[in-house]
Amino acid sequence: MIRVSFVETTYPAPTDADEADYCPDGDSQVREEELTFGELVCRMYEYTHTSASPAQGTTREWVSAETEQDYRTGDFIERSMHYHHENHPRYAKYWRIAMLHKTWRG
């Protein structure tokens, strides 16, 4: 099982009183899951961007989704998936293969 960290950061929506260069701190939530290789590949397809272009598949790279806006609150939500560095070193190859599989298949 490959350990993965999922990060969800929520940024409050700007108000009329905010400056044009409004840049608030986000509220981040991190959760960890253990996935099989097949689950890892499937979950990566939920994300549209790699942190490096072109992706090399290193454990320092991650995938992220398009920023979403909560229609109820107006808050902006960013989601990303990261390799957990407490994995045994042999699992790095599976992360690399999954990342490269994602970039080959889109």
What confidence score (pLDDT) does residue 94 get?
Answer: 95
Residue 90 lies in a domain: yes
Model-level pTM?
Answer: 0.84
Residue 20 lies in a domain: no
Residue 21 lies in a domain: no
CA angle (102, 79, 30) in 5-degree steps = 115
How confident is the model over 54-101, as pLDDT tens digits? 889 999 999 999 999 999 988 999 999 999 999 999 999 999 999 988
What confidence score (pLDDT) does residue 84 get?
Answer: 96
Peptide bond between residue 12 and the one before it cis (omega within 30 degrees of 0) = no
- What's the CA gap between 99 and 83, in Å, rounded? 11
Domains held by the chain: number: 1
What confidence score (pLDDT) does residue 105 get?
Answer: 57
pLDDT band at residue 7, thresholds of 50, 70 and 90? very high
What confidence score (pLDDT) does residue 55 get?
Answer: 86
Contact in structure between 27 and 10 (CB atoms under 8 Å): yes
Distances (CA, A) of 14 to 8, 10, 68, 73, 79: 19, 12, 15, 11, 19
Domain that holds residue 53: 2-12+30-105
How confident is the model over 21-40, as pLDDT tens digits? 667 788 999 999 999 999 99
CA 38 to chain centre: 18
Residue 22 lies in a domain: no
What confidence score (pLDDT) does residue 47 get?
Answer: 92
